[in-house]
């Protein structure tokens, strides 16, 4: 299972949403000083940089090129600060989702472990031939062919023999000349 991590990518956030997010993180970390006793970046620094970004954002709405450059600089500064703070939270949380969310940061989603379909093996009337069948997964359409590799244990000779075949995932595969 993958370890839960802090999301430190803020690419999809608008600047007003990012400002709100930064204030939320600073507020939650300030109320949870028992979990975050000595952050890498002081919470007062985050608050100050957030206020500066908000001022620069408002000025850039009606301003010219210089105001937009100042906004960009303030945004990049706060972005790096929040990434540093996110890495601090990740280090302190050590994969604990509750601690991550207590900081105000979002955490990565756990991947859903797929249910692997079951295989069954049937004999055929032909000597040295077996049929491998794969149960389909309900509601899933298989568009691709897959290669099935099987190692047959041959104890008399002391080695495993690789046998491969193609299957269309819907019906099964016939392995012959075993």
- The neighbour count for residue 132, using CB atoms within 10 Å, is 16
What's the pLDDT tens digit per position in 54-103? 999 999 998 889 999 999 999 999 999 999 999 999 999 998 999 999 99
> What is the structure's pLDDT at 57?
96
DSSP classification of residue 10: -
Q: What are phi and psi of 160, to 5 degrees?
A: -105, 135
Task: State how far Cα 17 lies from the chain centre.
Answer: 22
> Considering the entire predicted model, what is its pTM?
0.61
């Amino acid at each position: 299972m993958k370890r839960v991590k802090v999301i430190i990518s803020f690419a999809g956030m608008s600047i007003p949403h990012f400002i709100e997010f930064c204030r939320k993180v600073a507020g939650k970390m300030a109320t949870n000083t028992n979990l975050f006793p000595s952050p890498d970046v002081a919470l007062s620094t985050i608050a100050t940089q957030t206020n500066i970004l908000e001022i620069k954002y408002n000025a850039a709405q009606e301003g010219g090129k210089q105001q937009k450059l100042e906004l960009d600089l303030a945004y990049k500064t706060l972005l790096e600060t929040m990434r540093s703070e996110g890495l601090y939270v990740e280090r302190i949380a050590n994969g604990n989702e509750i601690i991550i969310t207590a900081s105000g940061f979002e955490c990565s989603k756990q991947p859903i472990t797929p249910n692997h379909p079951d295989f069954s093996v049937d004999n055929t009337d032909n000597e040295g031939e077996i049929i491998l069948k794969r149960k389909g997964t309900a509601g899933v359409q298989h568009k691709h062919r897959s290669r099935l590799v099987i190692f047959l244990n041959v104890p008399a000779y002391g080695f495993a023999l690789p046998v491969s075949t193609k299957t269309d995932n819907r019906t099964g595969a016939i392995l012959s000349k075993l």
